[in-house]
Amino acid sequence: MRKKLIAAVLAGAVLAAALPVQTFAEEEKTFVYGTTGYSEEMGDAGLNPHDNYSGWSAVRYGVGETLFKYNDNMEIEPWLATDYEFIDDTTVKITLREGVKFSSGRTMDALAVKECLEDLIKVHDRAPSDLKIDRMEAEGMTLTIYTKEPCPAIINYLGDPYGAIIDMEYGIQGEGGSANVAGTGPYIAEEVSPTQIELVKNEDYWGGEVKVDRVTVKSFADGSALTAALQTGDIQGTYGLQYDNYALFENNPDYTIHSCATSRCFFGQFNFESEIMQDQNVRKAIEMGIDKEGFCSVIMQGRGLPASAAFPDSFSYGNQAVETVSYDPEGAKALLEESGWTDSDGDGYVDRDGEKLTVNWLTYPTRLEQPKLAEYAQATLKEIGIDVKVNNTSDHMTYAGNGDFDVYVSSLTTAPTGDPEYFFTSTVTGPKNYGGYQNEEVTELTEKLHQTFETEERSALAVELQQTILDDDAMFFVSHLNMGIVTKSDVTGIAAHPCDYYEITAELDVE
Amino acid sequence: MLKYTAKRLLLLIPVLVGITFLSFAMMRLAGGDAVTYMYENAGTAVSQEIIDEARKEYGLDQPFLVQYGRWFMGMASGDMGTSYVSGRDVYDTFIEKLPATILLMLSSVLLTMAVSVPLGILSAVRHNKWPDRLIRFFSFTGNSMPNFFAALVLMYFLSVKLGWLPVVTSENTILSLVLPTLTLTVSMASKYTRQVRAAVLEELNKDYVMGARARGVSGKVIIWKNVMKASMVTIITLLSLSVGSLLGGTTIVETIFMWDGVGKMAVDAITMRDYPIVQAYVAWMAVIYVLANLASDILCHYIDPRVRLGGERR
Amino acid sequence: MRRGAAATGKQKIKKDITKKKLIVFAALTLILLLAAAFARYLCPYDPNEQNLLLAQKPPGVEHWMGTDRFGRDMFSRVLAGSTISVYATLVLVAVVTVTGTLAGMICGWRGGVIDTVVMRVADLFLAFPSLVFALAVAGVLGGGIQNAVIALAVIGWPKFARLARGLTMAQKEAPYLMAARLAGSSTPKLLFKHILPNIAGPVLVTAVLDIGTMMMELAGLSFLGLGVQPPVAEWGSMINDGRSMLQIAPWMALAPGAAIFVTVMIFNLLGDTLRDYLDPRQRG
């Protein structure tokens, strides 16, 4: 009797030990993804879309989905919503997709969406002023939103990751960088921490079969470690590889590089309060003295694309729609001479009334490209006789705020929601206009853009605005960042997008 | 001795008040605050109203002394506050990261001692012979190498080329401890080997050693009984400094190997102007250094009673 | 008696060798300092001249140490970088060593209230994160390499103070000091003539070994605008810049790295020999 019992226990133990091995043998498809884009410092740790920038992570890693999404031209497409209609200037009616379920099991309907958006505008910092929602009505699968004032871009704003729809009945589990939510996406988060997310496939995904069973998202703080991890195979795909290291994976059959120009733009603002910068010839000369092509192809190793204006080519109101000066050192010299700047003492720098033309170039090191651009521009501007003093400091906000610069080079995601208005209201007429640029026409056009509903008309206004700014030589645009995802070559269904919101999707597969 | 220890510990209070006030003031002088840095990091622009709102929420719109007073009162009642950036409790965040820091400190100090004490003695005994030259060459190399350089070289050879160790693992602590420990040991052992060598040489030249030698006491006995004991003062003083700085975290190593310790947390907090975390960190550092120094003073006194404890009357 | 004579003879020879070595290493140091002072006249190319067509070329006949991402000659940049790297670091190390050692010696010698107060201040500075201090310095005094030196000097001295204090205390009761004290030597004389030479060894070794670390720390502050701004060459920043290129263009980090190595090595050899030479027991 006793022996039997022991035997049974032993057999059970053996079986139990063998079990995990068996499940392992079923060949679960796994994918480990390394990224430098997930951390508490960036404000996007955790998956709660109503907290800071965590919505980016919810959408990026396939947990949350928004009502509308942006296609590769950053135009609005239906996602969890199938259609929308403006009833009047302050009312929009949104029709929701049928048959969508939250990972909590609840079916998504207008009421659930209403609850989610109500929480969003209650707790989120940016959403209330973007969406201007007054109240909402839910009826079956139709959600009607009443805004406090005309809000033409509301549909675009609903595509911002903070608009990821989650089940508020399930609520927010955990806080901050460990917050988990019940979304509608192809993956469900099992474990969330400020440095790592464990995802499993959503068996009931409305968009069809999800191909990979398990995805691990690992946060990396160091680019070299990210590179090494991809080389050793510790991770199979990555976002945020340093452009210096692309050469290791280019022309390498074991790896695939997906890249796409984003609306992150490196641009400079001239300080209109600085006396030398008030001369348009000097501003234009600086613009003409910067070799954008060389910077993008050599210094950024092709990870940047030359910019003419604020938005990349893929946008209907992007680069190709505007006219600007190109690299022309001789032309720049001529302009400087026209304004009386010549090299009279033969030191290689132009001067006027015994004073050298010295430009104080403010930038900051968080974006590695920016000090490089400063150093490169310093050399090319020297060619036309301009002496550039670089002030590269993480405390740039103080200097910029005090107007302690001639040129301020920063970078910005110019169209986070595929809509142009944001760039103008923030950087041209808004708080980020550090250069004190003022033009009545620009202010009027921006106001007009703010009130226009028609998409094509908005695009036309965006083009007109950019052209006016360029004609005034108030800013210069150097480069758009070419965002890249590098994977092992057996990974498919992952692609780079102009907005970097969509990374892990149902299409992801490992062959 | 007890009285002395108590006295030193009591002195911790003014040091703590002083250092936290100093850091609070300095962070103020540095310019910028958590709100501006947070929005700027995400690379998007927000309106002034949102920024003002956030400032108000964190109490950053208050005068400096009020802010410090609030923080101090909180601290005194055991509440270290909440991080501006992560929104989490500072105490919890800190406690969560300490084990990793302590583990790395222990492993690298032990390995460093295991490597540098024997090598330093060997180097001193074989003064100006080839083992000494070889050891000195390596210690130069290790010492003039920045930490990140050693980290990347080790990572490249041990992980990428040889495939012995994973670059990152979150499952296996022992395995993931290897690379950070080795990296720290490279520079620390280089330094300590030289220090041990210098200290031992210094002692070997002393009259009593000469005398012992002349009396025919064997070399080994001299080294272990006398020289080592005397050299310990230098080693312990330096060691207390190292333990202190290691417990403060090793930002570069933590960043590269994703070792979740207090060093990276502190640097991130400082650059983000996350005052509550910075304050807690500074207080922690003060406690660590005071304790480490106290321990080293007492140890030195025990090993070599000629070393008087500070504050003692002559 | 004969044994003593033989020992003196041996010592004499050893002393001669030490002297010769000292001359050699002093000459090397002088060469280094001169090279650093006149670096800009020695560069084969303009260290700031960019040429994108030559970007990231490996070391070769024309560019001994290759070129960087802007196509600048690395050898010229390493040479040009020596001016700031060597001098700024030397000033920094000298300041922290001298002030730290002085403070430590006084504390170790006097003990009492002075010791307690100074050492608690030292604890405060030791414990204080240098980054916070650097930030404040950058905020108040602005950028520039001199302010980086100031920031690190204020933070750096306690380490030497602690070291010197411990060593001084160990020397205090030594018989030779008793003898000197009984002979009526003044306190400064006791400190500088008797104690200093005896504790100089470990202090010097620590100081010299710190040179390399200090170079990197100076460079580490450059993101705050403390330190040099482009296009000025400086070793620490060059290494940092080459860091992401280690697998692709290793010479970008190795060239300035080798320069730091050689510099530390030269000072180290000089320090060691100087210590041997000054060693009281070897004095004729």
DSSP letters of A243-284? GGGGGGTTT-TTEEEEEEEEEEEEEEEE-TTSTGGG-HHHHH
- Rounded CA-CA distance C155/C128 in Å is 8
What's the burial of C58, exposed, middle or buried (CB within 10 Å: 0-12/13-18/19+)? exposed
Instruction: Give me the residues paired with residue A410 across strands.
Output: A267
HSE-CB of C116 using CA atoms within 13 angstroms: 14
To the nearest 10°, the Cα dihedral for A398, A402, A403, A408? 10
Q: Can you give the pLDDT at residue B67?
A: 86
Please tell me whether residue A434 adopts helix, strand or coil conformation.
coil
- Rounded CA-CA distance B22/B14 in Å is 12
Smallest CA-to-CA distance from A465 within A309, A270, A257, A286 is with A309
Measured in angstroms, the CA of A407 and the nearest CA of chain B are apart by 18
- Rounded CA-CA distance C95/A230 in Å is 45
Look at the domain A30-254+489-510 and name its fold: D-Maltodextrin-Binding Protein; domain 2 (3.40.190)
Q: Can you give the pLDDT at residue B313?
A: 39
Show which subunits contact B, needing at least 3 CB pairs below 8 angstroms: A, C
- CA distances (Å), origin A175, targets A178, A188, A193, B262, C205: 5, 17, 10, 20, 50
**ipTM of this complex:** 0.82
Task: State the SS3 of chain B.
Answer: CHHHHHHHHHCHHHHHHHHHHHHHHHHHHCCCCHHHHHHHHCCCCCCHHHHHHHHHHHCCCCCHHHHHHHHHHHHHCCCCCECCCCCCEHHHHHHHHHHHHHHHHHHHHHHHHHHHHHHHHHHHHCCCCHHHHHHHHHHHHHHHCCHHHHHHHHHHHHHHHCCCCCCCCCCCHHHHHHHHHHHHHHHHHHHHHHHHHHHHHHHHCCHHHHHHHHHCCCHHHHHHHHHHHHHHHHHHHHHHHHHHHHHCCCHHHHHHHCCCCHHHHHHHHHHHCCHHHHHHHHHHHHHHHHHHHHHHHHHHHHHCCCCCCCCCCC
pLDDT digits (tens, 9 = 90+) for B245-284: 888 888 888 888 888 889 888 888 888 888 889 988 998 8
Please say whether the beta carbons of A486 and A498 come within 8 A: no
What is the model's pTM? Answer: 0.85
A395:C138 CB<8 A:
yes
- Rounded CA-CA distance A268/A364 in Å is 12
Q: Chain C within 8 Å of A391 (Cβ-Cβ)?
A: yes
Amino acid at position B274, single letter: D
Expressed as residue numbers, the domain containing B205 is: 91-271
Q: Can you give the pLDDT at residue A24?
A: 47
**% residues pLDDT > 70 (chain B):** 92
In this complex, the residue of C123, C135, C261 whose CB is nearest that of residue B140 is: C261
Q: Can you give the pLDDT at residue C283?
A: 40
- Rounded CA-CA distance A388/C48 in Å is 13
Please say whether the beta carbons of C225 and C138 come within 8 A: yes
Instruction: Give me the residues paired with residue A342 across strands.
Output: A351
- Rounded CA-CA distance C57/A374 in Å is 22
Please tell me whether residue A443 adopts helix, strand or coil conformation.
helix
pLDDT digits (tens, 9 = 90+) for C30-46: 999 999 999 888 899 99
Please report which helix (H) or strand (E) contains residue A468, including its range: helix A455-471
Q: Chain B within 8 Å of C209 (Cβ-Cβ)?
A: yes
Query: Which of the given ranges, A392-406, B102-116, C142-156, has the highest pLDDT on average?
Result: B102-116
- Rounded CA-CA distance B279/B90 in Å is 10
A225:B155 CB<8 A:
yes
C248:A245 CB<8 A:
yes
**% residues pLDDT > 70 (chain C):** 94
* Cβ-Cβ contacts under 8 Å for A51 (sequence gap 6 or more): A123, A124, A172, A176, A179, B87
Instruction: Give me the residues paired with residue A488 across strands.
Output: A255
pLDDT digits (tens, 9 = 90+) for B196-237: 887 888 777 777 777 777 777 776 777 777 777 777 777 787
In this complex, the residue of B140, B143, B266 whose CB is nearest that of residue C129 is: B266
- Rounded CA-CA distance A77/A84 in Å is 10
Token pair 């390493």 is at which residue?
C78
Q: Which of B157, B258, B274 to mutate to test the interface with A (most CBs of A within 10 A)?
A: B258
C136:B234 CB<8 A:
no
- Rounded CA-CA distance A224/A244 in Å is 10
In this complex, the residue of B44, B87, B255 whose CB is nearest that of residue A221 is: B255
Q: How would residue C267 be classed by pLDDT, with cut points 50, 70 and 90? A: confident
Q: Can you give the pLDDT at residue C80?
A: 93
pLDDT digits (tens, 9 = 90+) for A168-210: 999 999 888 899 999 999 999 999 999 899 999 999 999 999 9
B285:C128 CB<8 A:
yes
Q: Can you give the pLDDT at residue A20?
A: 44
pLDDT digits (tens, 9 = 90+) for B111-151: 998 998 889 888 888 887 898 889 988 887 887 777 888 88
Eight-class DSSP state of A348:
S
C248:A248 CB<8 A:
yes
B143:C212 CB<8 A:
yes
Q: Can you give the pLDDT at residue A2?
A: 52
Q: How would residue C282 be classed by pLDDT, with cut points 50, 70 and 90? A: very low
Q: Can you give the pLDDT at residue B43?
A: 57
pLDDT digits (tens, 9 = 90+) for C62-114: 999 999 999 999 999 999 999 988 999 999 999 999 999 999 999 998 888 99
Q: How many CB atoms lie within 10 A of CB A341?
A: 25
User: Residue C132: its chain B contacts at CB < 8 A?
Assistant: 23, 26-27, 30, 270, 278, 282
Give the CATH number for residue B120: 1.10.3720.10
Eight-class DSSP state of A92:
E
Q: Would you kindly state where each structural domain of chain C is located, as residue ranges? A: 17-282
Please say whether the beta carbons of B120 and B196 come within 8 A: yes
Token pair 């400064």 is at which residue?
C188
pLDDT in tens, chain A (511 residues): 455 555 555 455 444 444 444 444 457 899 999 998 898 888 889 999 999 889 999 999 999 999 999 988 888 999 999 999 999 989 999 999 999 999 999 999 999 999 999 999 999 988 998 899 999 999 999 999 999 998 888 999 999 999 999 999 999 998 888 999 999 999 999 999 998 999 999 999 999 999 999 999 999 988 888 999 999 999 999 988 888 888 899 889 999 999 888 888 999 999 999 999 999 999 999 999 999 999 999 998 888 999 999 999 888 898 889 999 999 999 999 999 999 999 988 888 999 988 999 999 999 988 888 999 999 999 999 999 999 999 998 888 888 888 999 999 998 888 888 889 889 988 898 888 999 999 999 999 999 998 888 888 999 999 999 999 999 999 999 999 988 899 999 999 998 888 888 999 999 999 8
Length of chain A: 511
Q: How many domains does chain B have?
A: 1
Residue B134 within any structural domain of the chain: yes
Token pair 């991402």 is at which residue?
C69
Under 8 Å CB pairs connecting chains A and C tally to 66
* Cβ-Cβ contacts under 8 Å for C11 (sequence gap 6 or more): C282
pLDDT digits (tens, 9 = 90+) for B17-65: 888 888 888 888 877 788 877 776 665 667 777 788 888 888 888 888 8
Write phi, then psi, for A407 (nearest 5 degrees).
-125, 130
Smallest CA-to-CA distance from C235 within C102, C124, C145, C125 is with C145
Show which subunits contact C, needing at least 3 CB pairs below 8 angstroms: A, B
Q: Can you give the pLDDT at residue A325?
A: 92
User: Residue C139: its chain A contacts at CB < 8 A?
Assistant: 395, 398
Q: Is the peptide bond before C231 cis (omega within 30 degrees of 0)?
A: yes
C136:B26 CB<8 A:
yes
What's the burial of A368, exposed, middle or buried (CB within 10 Å: 0-12/13-18/19+)? middle
Architecture, CATH, for domain A261-483: Roll (3.10)
Amino acid at position B38, single letter: M
Give me the residues of C, 121-160, that contact A with CB < 8 A. Answer: 135, 138-139, 143
Q: Would you state the structure tokens that stand for residue C185, as one six-digit string?
A: 């030597």
Q: Can you give the pLDDT at residue C2?
A: 44
Q: Report the top-level CATH class of C17-282.
A: mainly alpha
In this complex, the residue of B50, B86, B255 whose CB is nearest that of residue A126 is: B50
DSSP secondary structure string for all residues of chain C: -HHHHHHHHHHHHHHHHHHHHHHHHHHHHHHHHHHHHTHHHH-SS-TT---GGGTTPPS-SSSTT-B-TT--BHHHHHHHHHHHHHHHHHHHHHHHHHHHHHHHHHHHHH-HHHHHHHHHHHHHHHHS-HHHHHHHHHHHH-SBHHHHHHHHHHHHHHHHHHHHHHHHHHHHT-HHHHHHHHTT--HHHIIIIIIHHHHHHHHHHHHHHHHHHHHHHHHHTGGGTBB--TT---HHHHHHHHGGGTTT-THHHHHHHHHHHHHHHHHHHHHHHHHHHH-GGG--
